[in-house]
């Protein structure tokens, strides 16, 4: 019969399950469980590496550890050892292990659990601290340490396609100048830079102007910038300016969702202005155009036959001049233009769009067409590459959930670290 020759661990050590340690005693003190542990192996000198064999003294060090079937007070019976190497300058040293490194007061498995709770489970730092009976500062320090150790170096990545979009960091603030007593409105925005191939957030910069994005791009190596082929943005002149300065050879694509949103905005403004001009008031529930206003914004090719009949009723009853129908055709033609698969088809769709804009003769559609003309090169890149800011918007939604769960952040550095680490962890998974 074959039996293992090693020494079997006792039941308390197996239940406690702390690597490199074994339980030497347990007790209940003041209603709390107390576990005293000791290391298994002889330590080596941190300076010369020689294994020690002679003890000098012993101390009990309190460790913060994960709850094991409830709160547990962990005490480490920690020894100071003599260094017996004559050539070593260190005379003695305290032992340390991977679970409790030098000068540490908590176990590595506790710090890992804290980071997992904040990053993977999405729990706020304050709730995590309360759940593990530690301080807020310890949880924050564990997350910061994880960012330094686990976040990949952006300069060593080779993204082929980038996406840039902004999100609001905090609510609007008003500041008063002490000298002039004038109030200034301040909107704290942040810009997210995402790898469109992997969906990972590469950087988060302050503001939504060309300066923040330009400084972030300038900090990247030249080879990194030359490897970027396409950048997808919303119709933001500030982002386009930064890209022309620091990525002049990169193709820029404008996101189709934002263009369609501008067309829907023109549709809504036309409906509102017509109601004021014709009826002298805003729309009401008795008005067909107001009651079915959402049908005007939906794609015409996605309407059911019932919805199409209701839309025709809107044009027949509430659009005697045909202006509303003309603007709706402009909006639909822009959708057709953005769905084209070649530059020739796009040019033909643009010509037809121009004719419909002239027929509508509305300031809203004229403004929309001028935007299309200003961004025509970027629209052509969109049609060729299909690059959109969809993954950036998905990350912005996750960022909003981070902010909502934590009920806001006051420290921008803490906010950025959680965003970057959570994105990196989810991308790796």
* pLDDT, tens only, 377-428: 999 999 999 999 999 999 999 999 999 888 888 888 889 999 999 999 888 7
Among 71, 62, 68, 69, CA closest to 130? 71
> β-strands 32-39, 72-82: how paired?
parallel
> Do 299 and 279 have their domain in common?
yes
Task: Please tell me whether residues 262 and 248 are part of one structural domain.
Answer: no
The radius of gyration of the chain from alpha carbons, rounded to an integer in Å, stands at: 32
Confidence of residue 9 (pLDDT cuts 50, 70, 90): low
Bridge partners of 185, per DSSP, are 174
Both 88 and 197 in a single domain?
A: no
C-alpha triplet 280, 285, 286: angle, nearest 5°: 75
Q: Band the pLDDT of 192: cuts 50, 70, 90.
A: very high
pLDDT at 205 over 60: yes
pLDDT band at 90 (very low <50, low <70, confident <90, very high): confident
Do 265 and 186 lie in a common domain?
no
Average pLDDT, stretch 95-107? 89
CB 291 within 8 A of CB 325: no
What pLDDT shows up at residue 283? 87
Structural domain tally of the chain? 4
Q: Are residues 54 and 116 in the same domain?
A: no
Antiparallel, parallel or unpaired: β 173-176 and 92-94: unpaired
Handedness of CA 275, 281, 287, 290 (dihedral sign): positive
Give percent of the chain above pLDDT 90.
58
Instruction: Based on the fold, state whether residues 326 and 226 are members of the same structural domain.
Output: no
The 10s digit of each residue's pLDDT in 24-69 is 988 887 778 899 999 988 888 888 888 888 888 888 999 999 888 8
Token pair of 357 as six digits? 């804009």
**Confidence at 4, pLDDT banded by 50, 70, 90:** very low
Quickly state the pLDDT bin for 429 (edges 50, 70, 90): low
Range of the domain at 113: 106-150
Give the pLDDT confidence score for residue 1 in this predicted structure: 43
Q: Which of 2-11, 354-363, 398-407, 412-421 has the lowest mean pLDDT?
A: 2-11
One domain, residues 87 and 231: no
379 and 264 in a common domain: yes
Checking if the pLDDT of 6 tops 70, the result is: no
91 lies in the same domain as 206: no
Q: Residue 7's pLDDT is what?
A: 44
Residue 224 above 90 pLDDT? yes
pLDDT at 52: 86
- Among candidate residues 87, 121, 150, the one where a domain is terminated: 150
**Mean pLDDT across the chain:** 90
Same domain (yes/no): 165, 200: yes
How many CB atoms are closer than 10 A to CB 244? 13
Instruction: Please name every residue paired with 201 in a beta bridge, in sequence order, or none if there are none.
Output: 194
pLDDT of residue 2: 52
* 284 CB burial (10 A radius; 0-12, 13-18, 19+): exposed
Mean pLDDT of 164-170: 89
Last residue of a domain, one of 101, 122, 137: 101
Q: What's the pLDDT score for residue 5?
A: 47
Q: Domain check: are 182 and 226 in the same one?
A: yes
SS (H, E, C) the chain: CCCCCCCCCCHHHHHHCCCCEEEEEEEEECCEEEEEEEECCCCECCCCCCECCCEEEEEEEEEECCCCCCCEEEEEEEEEEECCCCCCCCCEEECCCCCCCCCCCECHHHHHHHHHHHHCCCCCHHHHHHHHCCCHHHHHHHHHHHHHHHCCCHHHCCCCEEEEEEEECCCCEEEECCCCCCEEEECCEEEEEEECCCCCEEEEEECCCHHHHHHHHHCCCHHHHHHCCEEEECCCHHHHHHHHHHCCCCEEEECHHHHHHHHHHHHHHHHHHHHHHHHCCCCCCCCHHHHCHHHHHCCHHHCCHHHHHHHHHHHHHHCCCCHHHHHHHHHHHHHHHHCCCCHHHHHHHHHHHHHHHHHHCCHHHHHHHHHHHHCHHHHHHHHHHCCCCHHHHHHHHHHHHHHHHHCCCCCHHHHHHHHHHHHHHHHHC
120 and 91 in a common domain: no
Of 101, 133, 166, the residue that ends a domain is 101
- For 333-347, what is the mean pLDDT? 94
């Amino acid at each position: 019969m074959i039996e293992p020759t090693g020494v079997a661990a006792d039941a308390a050590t197996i239940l406690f399950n702390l690597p490199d340690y074994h339980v030497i005693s347990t007790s209940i003190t003041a209603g709390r469980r107390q576990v005293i542990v000791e290391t298994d192996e002889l330590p080596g000198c941190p300076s010369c590496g020689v294994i020690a064999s002679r003890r000098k003294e012993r101390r009990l060090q309190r460790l913060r550890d994960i709850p094991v079937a409830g709160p547990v007070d962990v005490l480490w019976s920690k020894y100071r050892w003599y260094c017996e190497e004559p050539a070593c300058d260190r005379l003695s040293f305290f032992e340390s292990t991977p679970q409790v490194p030098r000068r540490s007061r908590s176990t590595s498995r506790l710090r890992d659990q804290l980071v997992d709770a904040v990053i993977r489970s999405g729990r706020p730092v304050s709730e995590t601290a309360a759940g593990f009976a530690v301080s807020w500062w310890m949880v924050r320090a564990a997350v910061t340490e994880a960012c330094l150790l686990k976040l990949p170096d952006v300069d060593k990545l080779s993204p082929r396609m980038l996406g840039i979009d902004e999100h609001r960091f905090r609510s609007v603030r008003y500041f008063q100048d002490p000298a002039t007593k004038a109030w200034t409105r301040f909107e704290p925005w942040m810009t997210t830079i995402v790898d469109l191939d992997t969906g990972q957030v590469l950087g988060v910069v302050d503001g939504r102007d060309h300066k923040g994005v330009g400084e972030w791009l300038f900090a990247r190596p030249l080879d990194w910038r030359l490897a970027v082929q396409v950048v997808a943005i919303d119709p933001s002149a500030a982002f386009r300016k930064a890209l022309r300065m620091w990525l002049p050879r990169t193709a820029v694509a404008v996101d189709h969702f934002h263009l369609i949103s501008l067309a829907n905005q023109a549709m809504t403004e036309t409906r509102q202005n017509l109601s004021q001009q014709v009826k002298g008031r805003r729309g009401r529930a008795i008005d067909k155009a107001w009651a079915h206003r959402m049908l005007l914004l939906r794609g015409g090719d996605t309407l059911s036959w019932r919805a199409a009949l209701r839309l025709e009723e809107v044009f027949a009853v509430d659009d005697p001049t045909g202006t509303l129908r003309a603007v709706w055709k402009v909006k639909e033609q822009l959708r057709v233009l953005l769905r084209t698969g070649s530059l020739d088809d796009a040019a033909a769709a643009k010509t037809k769009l121009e004719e419909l804009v002239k027929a509508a003769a509305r300031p809203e559609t004229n403004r929309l067409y001028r935007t299309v003309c200003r961004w025509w090169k970027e629209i052509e890149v969109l049609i060729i590459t299909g690059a959109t800011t969809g993954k950036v918007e998905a990350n912005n939604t996750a960022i909003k959930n981070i902010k909502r769960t934590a009920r806001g952040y006051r420290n921008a550095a803490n906010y950025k670290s959680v965003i970057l680490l959570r994105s990196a962890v989810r991308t790796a998974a």
